[in-house]
Amino acid sequence: MESITAARKGTASAATVAAPDITSGGQSNVQPQQETDGFHLLIDALKLNGIDTIFGLPGIPISDLTRKAQAAGLRVISFRHEQNAGYAASIAGFMTQKPGICLTVSAPGFLNGLTALANATTNCFPMVMISGSSEREVVDLSQGDYEEMDQLAIARPLAKAAFRVLHAEDIGVGVARAIRAAVSGRPGGVYLDLPAKLFPQTMDAEAGRQSLIKVVDPAPRQIPSQDAVQRALDLIKGAARPLIILGKGAAYSQADADIRALVEKTGIPYLPMSMAKGLLPDTHEQSAAAARSYVLPEADVVVLIGARLNWLLSHGKGKTWGGKSSKAWGGQKFVQVDISPTEADSNVRIDAPVIGDIGSCVKAMLAGIDAKWPKPPAEWLNAIGERKSRNIAKMAETLAKNPTPMNFHSALNVVRDVIKANPDAILVNEGANALDFTRSIVDMYKPRKRLDVGTWGVMGIGMGFSIAAAAVSGEQVIAVEGDSAFGFSGMEVETICRYNLPVCVVILNNNGVYRGDEVNPTGGADPAPLAFTKDARYEKLMEAFGGVGVHVTTPAELRNAMEDAVRSHKPTLINALIDEKAGTESGRITGLNPTAKKA
Ligand SMILES: Cc1ncc(C[n+]2csc(CCOP(=O)(O)OP(=O)(O)O)c2C)c(N)n1
Ligand SMILES: [Mg+2]
């Protein structure tokens, strides 16, 4: 009750209010007493915990918060849509192991950000979405408040954790709980609900300072048990055809040197999942990526490091893994290194779970691997080597072609060269064919340089990820986008220009979703559902806000434009026209797309 009273009389900024001072002489002197408020407590709590950037979109009730945050030295990046701010926050979390902060207004702004929050939880990206919310008393009685919505209840099933703070003196605890929940154990998206009335609540400044919490050891190491490590090592040692699969969790852990040492000391071939590409350079001789369809069914012991056996790995069973039918186990034994004990056995039996943080688990396994560790049988390595060279040669042949019109391969051959020459550049990637071809053609050389659609295959991450990647790292960003994919966040090119970020967007434009040559079977005036405007001039969007727009139709023009962008670091959008017949339905995952038997 006290706080509500405080809120009613509170002012919109930290105030110095007059308090009576009883001094000698019977005169009531007035001595200033420092007060603070919800706005400042939140900003101070974030700063105290090392947060330096907020990705958001202002409006009631958080406009003043964005102003005050900027004034207090936080970097505030204002977006055109909350979903993009949310994606930005989530990938900042992935890159830095600090929760990315997304700030939204109530109801519609909150809902706009929610997809990104749910996507963060699914992908194990640490983020905190902070949303202003309307009057609790009115919302709870459904009396029709401005932007009325029970946001906490809606966020809860989609977030790793959700909290609400009602009193200014609890802001410190709320922020601490949100940070711990976001980064500890399996990271995820956390929702923090801050009702409008909280922000102007005032309290004594010193008491406010005391109420803040600097989180100590927010993501504590989780050391695996020695038994579990030994069980895993014994299984690996006895393998005839071992395989390591590195997942996004391995990339997140930042245990780069130890992971590389584990791969190299055991000599086991490895496959990187999409966002684990570059953990070891894709050109590494132990990479089995070019022989994926051979190694999955043939391997007898598979070591999963921060990779889940979800749909991206065909659930660890079925024909991909050599199973006799679509759900049959292929006979592999699995070691699973994961932060979460409940991950094991989610799809197939895990014979040796190693549970702990990836860094500690890999270190513990390395301790049991000495110079005498037996290398995998030469037969296995040679068989992989053969397939690999055959497939790489075939790919080189395809990449060398220069068809007219340009296709995915001839365009991506250029991107491949540009990334090779600029291995520190961050590659953001979304689309269907634009995604799948890029993943297999463009080699990555350093960890956490490839950011993409992740576990959900979600379209719309492009510009949000690009903005965060540039803001967090200062590096050149190259976003390879399908034309459909780009449309989900295209308006953020204005944000890229406004903050003058070194982002080069390359649209692989095939006039549609998957391809652009479909027609309306009725012969009517409407276009086919998957076809877009022919030869749309996306580059003009970038020019509209002061960036560089380039329209290219050949690999040579694409190369020039990309090299200019990387040299100048100017916001650039290259509209690369691709043969509209070049793509396939759903890219590589055609099989997941139900189609009618009857035309
Ligand atoms: C949020 C969301 N909506 C819709 C989809 C379905 N979807 C998958 S890929 C894709 C776009 C593919 O077209 P494009 O980006 O142009 O890539 P292309 O295959 O043409 O290279 C869509 C709409 C999705 N994955 N996510
Ligand atoms: Mg397309």
Atom of ligand 1 nearest to the CA of 516: 20
**pLDDT class of 586 with cuts at 50, 70, 90:** confident
pLDDT value of residue 2: 37
Instruction: Tell me, in angstroms, the distance from the centre of ligand 2 to residue 511's CA.
Output: 6
pLDDT value of residue 575: 98
Phi, psi at 29, each rounded to 5° = -75, 155
Spatial distance between the Cα atoms of 157 and 275, rounded to a whole number of angstroms: 26
* Residue-averaged pLDDT of the chain: 94
Point out the ligand nearest to the CA of residue 438.
1
Spatial distance between the Cα atoms of 189 and 129, rounded to a whole number of angstroms: 7
**Greater pLDDT, 592 or 44:** 44
**pLDDT class of 11 with cuts at 50, 70, 90:** very low
Spatial distance between the Cα atoms of 351 and 235, rounded to a whole number of angstroms: 8
| Residue 16 confidence (pLDDT) above 50 | no
Instruction: Tell me, in angstroms, the distance from the centre of ligand 1 to residue 509's CA.
Output: 12
Of all residues in the chain, the percent with pLDDT exceeding 90 is 92
pLDDT value of residue 7: 38
Handedness of CA 489, 491, 493, 494 (dihedral sign): negative
| Residue 394 confidence (pLDDT) above 50 | yes
| Residue 599 confidence (pLDDT) above 90 | no
Spatial distance between the Cα atoms of 503 and 466, rounded to a whole number of angstroms: 7
Structure pTM? Answer: 0.94
513 Cβ inside 6 Å of ligand 1: yes
pLDDT value of residue 587: 85
How buried is 324 (Cβ within 10 angstroms: 0-12 exposed, 13-18 middle, 19+ buried)? Answer: exposed
Atom of ligand 1 nearest to the CA of 512: 16
Instruction: Tell me, in angstroms, the distance from the centre of ligand 2 to residue 491's CA.
Output: 18
What value does the mean pLDDT take over residues 51-71? 98
User: Which residues have their alpha-adjacent CB atom under 5 A from ion ligand 2?
Assistant: 482-483, 510
281 Cβ inside 6 Å of ligand 1: no
pLDDT, tens digit (0-9, with 9 covering 90-100), for 158-190: 999 999 999 999 999 999 999 999 999 999 999
| Residue 476 confidence (pLDDT) above 60 | yes
**pLDDT class of 593 with cuts at 50, 70, 90:** confident
Spatial distance between the Cα atoms of 379 and 240, rounded to a whole number of angstroms: 9
| Residue 8 confidence (pLDDT) above 70 | no
Cβ neighbour number for residue 25 with a 10 Å cutoff: 6
**pLDDT class of 10 with cuts at 50, 70, 90:** very low
Nearest CA to ligand 1 atom 5: 459
Which of 81, 514, 518 is the best mutation target for the ligand 1 pocket, counting ligand atoms within 8 Å of the beta carbon and taking the most? 514
Instruction: Tell me, in angstroms, the distance from the centre of ligand 2 to residue 467's CA.
Output: 22
Instruction: Tell me, in angstroms, the distance from the centre of ligand 1 to residue 485's CA.
Output: 5
Q: Are strands 16-22 and 28-37 parallel, antiparallel or unpaired?
A: antiparallel
pLDDT, tens digit (0-9, with 9 covering 90-100), for 244-272: 999 999 999 999 999 999 999 999 999 99
Point out the ligand nearest to the CA of residue 435.
1
What value does the mean pLDDT take over residues 18-37? 61
Phi, psi at 22, each rounded to 5° = -90, 105
Atom of ligand 1 nearest to the CA of 584: 19
Which of 112, 459, 580 is the best mutation target for the ligand 1 pocket, counting ligand atoms within 8 Å of the beta carbon and taking the most? 459
Instruction: Tell me, in angstroms, the distance from the centre of ligand 1 to residue 458's CA.
Output: 8
Which of 455, 465, 484 is the best mutation target for the ligand 1 pocket, counting ligand atoms within 8 Å of the beta carbon and taking the most? 484
Q: Can you say how many angstroms the Cα of residue 271 is from the centroid of all Cα atoms in its chain?
A: 20
489 Cβ inside 6 Å of ligand 1: no
Instruction: Tell me, in angstroms, the distance from the centre of ligand 2 to residue 427's CA.
Output: 18
Q: Which two tokens stand for residue 192?
A: 């923090």
Instruction: Tell me, in angstroms, the distance from the centre of ligand 2 to residue 508's CA.
Output: 7
412 Cβ inside 6 Å of ligand 1: no
433 Cβ inside 6 Å of ligand 1: yes
Cβ neighbour number for residue 167 with a 10 Å cutoff: 19
Which of 84, 513, 517, 577 is the best mutation target for the ligand 1 pocket, counting ligand atoms within 8 Å of the beta carbon and taking the most? 513
What value does the mean pLDDT take over residues 60-73? 97
Nearest CA to ligand 1 atom 20: 514
57 Cβ inside 6 Å of ligand 1: no
What value does the mean pLDDT take over residues 539-568? 98
What value does the mean pLDDT take over residues 31-53? 94
Of all residues in the chain, the percent with pLDDT exceeding 70 is 94
pLDDT value of residue 26: 47
483 Cβ inside 6 Å of ligand 1: yes
587 Cβ inside 6 Å of ligand 1: yes
pLDDT value of residue 31: 64
Spatial distance between the Cα atoms of 145 and 302, rounded to a whole number of angstroms: 55
What value does the mean pLDDT take over residues 18-47? 74
